[in-house]
């Protein structure tokens, strides 16, 4: 087969380390031939969250379902289905489900760091 | 504001050249600070299509709504909401809406070629 086509539910979900009630499925990875960036889906259950963290690479996100709160440095933003989010490298960010259902979003990430690492 | 957060409907849609009944909105671009790849949303109306073409960079796609037919080289695949698609560089590919509603999908693409260009 050329390339890859898969329904996200065909990929087993695994818990995200250092997070609460949060699951990840890697949909397109370097094992599939991805050479620049990869695609994952996150599912954060009600009351779930990913605490503040940062890293020297960006995220590009698209929200599929649910309602969440994303922080970027000192800013807070409510997001919902149909919203795209760009989180630049080295920005402190966090995610929290603030709705009644599962919050689902696509999150893409480069395969390699794209900025100098800042002090940890 | 740090980064970018936008609902896709806030971005004007523009017709895709060399395609039929097909619209694109660029959700995250280098103007937003993207440095590795960008995120677009495509909306292909019923009977709409993007003819076969190829280029020396990959696509990573996530289907949001509708039903479409994607070809990669000689292969044809039906896709629907929840499916992720990886199209490697230099693979001939096309898109055709085969459903009754608008076919919507996220399509990400590197900012720079990632493979040698093959004979045109």
Q: CA A18, CA B46: separation in Å to the nearest integer?
A: 44
Flag whether B93 is in a domain. Answer: yes
ipTM rounded to 2 decimals: 0.96
Q: What is the pLDDT of residue B119?
A: 63
Q: CA B97, CA B79: separation in Å to the nearest integer?
A: 10
Q: Which ranges of A1-120 does DSSP label H, i.e. alpha helix?
A: none
Q: How many domains does chain A have?
A: 1
Flag whether A98 is in a domain. Answer: yes
Give the domain extent around A49.
42-105
pTM comes to 0.97
Q: What is the pLDDT of residue A93?
A: 98
Flag whether A29 is in a domain. Answer: no
Q: What is the pLDDT of residue A119?
A: 62
A1: closest chain B residue by CA: B75
- Whether B86 sits inside 8 A of A1 (CB atoms) is no
Flag whether B66 is in a domain. Answer: yes
pLDDT over 80 at B33, yes or no: yes
Task: Output the six-digit token pair for A50.
Answer: 């990913």
Flag whether B95 is in a domain. Answer: yes
Q: CA A99, CA A49: separation in Å to the nearest integer?
A: 12
% chain B with pLDDT above 70: 98
Read off the pLDDT of residues A64-92 as tens digits, 9 standing for 90 and up. Answer: 999 999 999 999 999 999 999 999 999 99
pLDDT over 70 at A6, yes or no: yes
Task: Output the six-digit token pair for A115.
Answer: 């900025």
Average pLDDT over residues B55-84: 98
- Whether A35 sits inside 8 A of B27 (CB atoms) is no
B73: closest chain A residue by CA: A2
Q: Is-contact A87 B35, C-beta < 8 A?
A: no
Flag whether A16 is in a domain. Answer: no
Instruction: Give the domain CATH number at A53.
Output: 2.60.120.10
Q: Is-contact B92 B119, C-beta < 8 A?
A: no
Q: Is-contact A49 A22, C-beta < 8 A?
A: yes
Q: Which member of B5, B38, B58 has the closest CB to residue A79?
A: B5
Greater model confidence, A103 or A113: A103
SS3 B8: helix
Q: What is the pLDDT of residue A33?
A: 96
Flag whether B77 is in a domain. Answer: yes
Read off the pLDDT of residues A36-54 as tens digits, 9 standing for 90 and up. Answer: 999 999 999 999 999 999 9
Q: What is the pLDDT of residue A117?
A: 85
Of the candidates A12, A57, A90, A86, the residue with the CA atom closest to the CA atom of residue B108 = A86
Q: To the nearest whole number, what is the mean pLDDT of chain A?
A: 96
% chain A with pLDDT above 70: 98
Task: Output the six-digit token pair for B23.
Answer: 């619209």
Of the candidates B99, B91, B94, the residue with the CA atom closest to the CA atom of residue B46 = B99
pLDDT over 60 at A120, yes or no: no
Q: What is the pLDDT of residue B106?
A: 98
Average pLDDT over residues B52-76: 97
Flag whether B92 is in a domain. Answer: yes
Q: CA B100, CA B103: separation in Å to the nearest integer?
A: 9
- Whether B34 sits inside 8 A of A60 (CB atoms) is yes
């Amino acid at each position: 087969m050329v390339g890859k086509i898969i329904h996200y539910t065909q990929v087993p979900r695994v818990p995200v380390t250092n997070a609460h009630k949060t699951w990840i499925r890697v949909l397109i990875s370097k094992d599939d031939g991805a050479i620049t960036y990869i695609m994952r889906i996150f599912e954060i259950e009600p009351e779930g969250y990913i605490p503040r963290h940062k890293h020297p690479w960006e995220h590009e996100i698209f929200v599929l379902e649910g309602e969440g709160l994303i922080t970027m440095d000192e800013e807070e933003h409510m997001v919902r289905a149909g919203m795209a989010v760009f989180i630049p490298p080295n920005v402190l960010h966090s995610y929290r489900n603030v709705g009644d259902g599962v919050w689902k979003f696509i999150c893409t990430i480069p395969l390699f760091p794209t900025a100098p690492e800042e002090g940890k």
